A and B are shown apart, each in its own frame.
Chain A
Amino acid sequence: MCDENSSIHINSLDSLKSFIEKLGCADSKQLTEEQREEIFINANQKEFSTESVGWMVDIISPNDISTSMFRRSKRSLNEVSMESAIDLIKKALELEVNVAEIYVDTVGPPDKYQEKLKAIFPKIKITVAKKADSTYPIVSLASICAKVSRDHALKVWKFREGIEVPEDGFGSGYPGDPVTKRFLQEYEPVFGFPRIVRFSWSTAVNALEGSAFAVEFEEEDQPGKEKVVLGSKKMTSFFKAEVPVKKFKRHQFWKDRCIEDVTDF
């Protein structure tokens, strides 16, 4: 339900090596929540945090992601993620971290992403790769920091909607989780779900279809423009007498203001 991005800063490459060996990082997806937390706690021990590693996460709320994706000029989830990564690097530089190398787990094609980052940060060695999470321990650790932060954010989530969360919670947020599926069965007719749910998530959209009220926003297409229908005349139209219908056209003044005659409401 949430998305997260993180970056790791190291004081020296040598200390990084020994550091990661000590922590025992691996692909964060293959670790249990408990294992991730253990590594996270170790990474924040004084000796590690002052000697070799600092971390920063950018937590983007589900609401922020949907409103970015549903802007009039739509942004994809990948674009949201890239922007967040770029901001994190900029923030590290602002804090005067000496960034020599950057390792990034890709979203979308890695070479394009890498080019994009190189154009913004030409002096830094940048590696963007698929599955960097399992190839580069530093990325794995960054991912652990991100996942632990996300898990914590969800644990302490305050529902302003005043809903009662079922005893078993709302699950992992992955579409296959039966607890998450059950959580999505409860809805509000107009607003749909509480904002812990990302509305740009197809699972959420599908869950609302047919149950909650259909809500349709004005589309970006220019209003008043008629759709062009392609194709020739229907065969049967030649057998009908054509009765010319004089269409009464409203003046632009009324059209611009959405004013119409109403006899019933």
Chain B
Amino acid sequence: MSIRLQISKNALESENDADVHFIPASIDGNANTKVDEYFNSYKSIENGLQINALRGYPLKGIEIDLPDNMQGLVLRENEKLQMNAERELKFGGKFDKFTYWNYDKNPSENDSYRKAMHWLKVSEALHSEITSLDDVKL
């Protein structure tokens, strides 16, 4: 099944970045929500970490930049189409950094997200072309 992405060049060049949060909880639903009023307005800084809470659960966060040469995109799908119909995702926003939150744990290099980013380097090593034997490190 193919998916069409609708992203205009203008949108990518717009200066406004989306405010994106990585939340350590599953939220069973999709809706517009008042992030600024209910969440950002309560953010505080303690020992260089961002402190906040969701539904009474303590969160500790940091701002994380996306890896070099990567662009973060928010994609929206208006409605679930019938089976087998071509899906279409529309541009909802772009971001170069986001706030990463842990549930009552200092964010660190041991977090799954940050470790997952190791794959970028591993993948590059695995898939980059070998042009001469000198490129092969033994």
Are the C-beta atoms of A191 and B116 separated by less than 8 Å? no
Q: Is the CB–CB distance between B105 and A216 below 8 Å?
A: no
- Whose C-beta in chain B lies nearest to the C-beta of A258? B112
Q: How many A-B residue pairs have CB under 8 A?
A: 93
Instruction: Evaluate contact between B56 and A217: CB separation under 8 angstroms.
Output: no
Q: Are A199 and B119 within 8 A (Cβ)?
A: no
A110 beta carbon closer than 8 Å to chain B: no
* Alpha-carbon separation in the docked complex, A70 to B54 (Å): 11
On whether the beta carbons of B27 and A215 are closer than 8 Å, the reply is yes
Residues of A within 8 A of B38 (CB): 161, 188, 190-191, 194
B56 and A258 contacting across the interface, CB-CB below 8 Å: no
B64 to chain A: closest CB distance in Å? Answer: 15
Contact of B29 among A67, A70, A189 (CB under 8 A): A189
The DSSP consensus for interface residues of chain A is loop
Task: Please tell me if the beta carbons of A70 and B57 are within 8 angstroms of each other in the complex.
Answer: yes
Could you mark each residue 56-72 of chain A with 1 if its beta carbon is under 8 Å from any beta carbon of chain B, else 0? 00000001001101111
Q: Which of B25, B53, B103, B116 contacts A257 (CB 8 A)?
A: B116
Which residues of A lie under 8 Å from residue B1 when comparing CB positions? 264
B41 and A70 within 8 A (CB)? no
* Given A189-B33, A191-B34, A257-B118: A214 in contact with B28 (beta carbons within 8 A): yes
* Cβ-based interface call for A256 (8 A): yes
Q: Does B104 contact A (CB under 8 A)?
A: yes
The reply to whether B58 and A67 form a contact with Cβ atoms under 8 Å apart is yes
Which one, A71, A191, A256, contacts B39 given CB within 8 A? A191
Interface positions, chain A 208-265, Cβ under 8 Å from B, are 208, 213-218, 256-259, 264
With contact pairs A161-B41, A215-B26, A215-B55 given, residues A258 and B34 touching in the complex (Cβ less than 8 Å): no
**Known contacts A162-B37, A191-B55, then 19 further A-B pairs from the complex at CB < 8 Å, ordered by chain A residue:** A63-B56, A66-B53, A66-B57, A70-B58, A72-B104, A160-B41, A163-B37, A190-B31, A191-B34, A194-B38, A195-B53, A199-B55, A213-B28, A215-B27, A215-B54, A218-B103, A257-B115, A258-B112, A258-B116
Residue numbers of B with Cβ under 8 A of A are 1, 24-29, 31, 33-34, 37-39, 41-42, 53-58, 103-105, 112-113, 115-116, 118-119
Chosen A-B contacts, 15 in total, with CB atoms closer than 8 Å, are A70-B57, A71-B58, A160-B41, A161-B34, A161-B37, A163-B37, A191-B34, A192-B55, A208-B55, A215-B25, A215-B55, A217-B103, A257-B112, A257-B118, A258-B116
